[in-house]
């Protein structure tokens, strides 16, 4: 026995596991989505500019408490963070692209309604 569509919806009966979106019940907060998209863009810019801002980490740290290995450890961390930062940028860029698609798709639906 299939799931029945909403009353007044003149289409075939839905099979188990199928769903149908009823667009008039979807509320999209475009301001919120746009704000999130802007934030993602800013985060990506910060991550891309990070190597220029960090410069010579070991030199900046020096040898506090007469422990020169701290600068070396910071440099090692920076080196191991680079690939992770690149992965994070790629992931955020993908999320931003998906947000753009959602915003554009629903905007087009609203304009067509």
pLDDT digits (tens, 9 = 90+) for 13-56: 666 766 555 556 778 899 999 999 999 999 999 999 887 776 67
Residues in the chain: 113
Q: Which residues pair with 2 in a beta bridge?
A: none
The Cα angle at residue 28 between residues 25 and 29, in degrees rounded to 5: 140
Residue 1 to residue 88: CA distance in whole angstroms:
46
List pLDDT tens digits, range 67-101: 778 877 877 888 888 889 999 999 999 999 999 99
Q: Where are the domains of the chain?
A: 28-112
3-state secondary structure of 14: strand
pLDDT at residue 1, rounded to an integer: 43
pLDDT above 70 (res 9): no
Q: Which residues pair with 14 in a beta bridge?
A: 3
Q: Phi and psi (nearest 5°) for 64?
A: -65, 145
pLDDT at residue 5, rounded to an integer: 44
Residue 2 pLDDT grade (very low, low, confident, very high; cuts 50, 70, 90)? very low
pLDDT at residue 61, rounded to an integer: 77
Q: Which of 3 and 15 is assigned the larger pLDDT?
A: 15
């Amino acid at each position: 026995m299939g799931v029945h569509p909403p009353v007044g919806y003149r289409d075939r009966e839905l099979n188990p596991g199928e769903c149908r979106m009823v667009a008039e019940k979807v509320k999209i907060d475009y301001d919120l989505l746009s704000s999130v998209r802007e934030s993602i863009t800013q985060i990506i810019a910060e991550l891309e500019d990070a190597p220029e801002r960090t410069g010579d980490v070991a030199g900046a740290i020096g040898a506090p408490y007469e422990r020169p290995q701290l600068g070396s450890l910071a440099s090692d961390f920076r080196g191991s963070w680079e690939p992770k930062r690149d992965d994070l940028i790629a992931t955020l860029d993908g999320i931003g692209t998906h947000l753009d698609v959602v915003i554009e798709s629903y905007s087009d639906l609203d304009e067509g309604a």
